[in-house]
Amino acid sequence: MNSDAGGKEKVALVFGGSRGIGAAAVRRLARDGFVVGFTYVSRPDSAQEVVDAVAADRGQAYAMQADSTDAAAIRMAVEKVVAHFGRLDVVVVNAGILRVGTIDAFTQADFDQVLQVNVRGVYVAIQAAVAHMGENGRVITIGSNTGVRPLTPIGTVYGMSKAAVAAMVKGLALDLAARGIRVNNIQPGPIETDMTAEHIEHIKGMVPLGQVGQPEDIAELVSYLAAPFSRYMTGSSLTIDGGMTL
């Protein structure tokens, strides 16, 4: 069991934990011995499936509805986890949205929503979480390899938002270093989830390794960054994309 010297279980919070990468991260952190709170937006059935899967594996997870366009809801999710479990050691900010289109077709409403969730929402979640973290706290963001370089002509705004997350992580790593809090970013390439099901075969052909990733591949990296093994790492963006951005 993952606990501190006093024997208390450590606590993780995953924003966007009901499906795909987020759900895999919740399950993996629970197997690592964390008790895990996580948020979902509109799928309580999927959230309950994650809670049940963790319980079947003798872990503990706690699901909360929270929309990452709502700063107050983000802060409330942090407060609920701290009230429920008594502390917070790790936060994984996975919540995000994908909107694509050329500049002629991309609406201002879509532009504003991408920045609201993928940039402002990430900052608000981290700001709220670190207020409750002590030394050895861990902040892990889920960015994208599109933040490294554009991969399609329709992904400008999404890639820009993920590049902003990578830059944010570098600044916050400096900001929080004196408190012993590590801040790192994971930049996945295409991952096989329900969101990518329609395009997966086309995407596979763009990956030098000839395959797409699985949510569990990203969850393993989350596990590493949440563990003591990563204590000398902060401010890093780790790209895991089968060689797409080489």
pLDDT on residue 5 = 41
Between CA 205 and CA 209 the distance in angstroms is 9
How many CB atoms are located within 10 Å of the residue 52 CB? 11
For the chain, domains (ranges, CATH) are 11-240 (3.40.50.720)
For residue 183, what pLDDT is reported?
98
Can you give the pLDDT at residue 169? Answer: 98
Measured CA to CA, the distance from residue 140 to residue 24 in angstroms comes to 14
pLDDT digit string, tens, across residues 146-204 = 999 998 899 999 999 999 999 999 999 999 999 999 999 999 999 998 777 777 777 88
- Catalytic site residues? 158
Low-confidence stretches of the chain (pLDDT beneath 50): 1, 5-7
The reported pLDDT for the residue numbered 78 is 98
Angstrom distance (rounded) from CA 155 to CA 98: 9
> What are the residues facing 191 on neighbouring strands?
213
The residues, any chain, with a CB within 8 Å of residue 237's CB and separated by 6 or more, are 143, 147, 166, 169, 184, 185, 186, 187
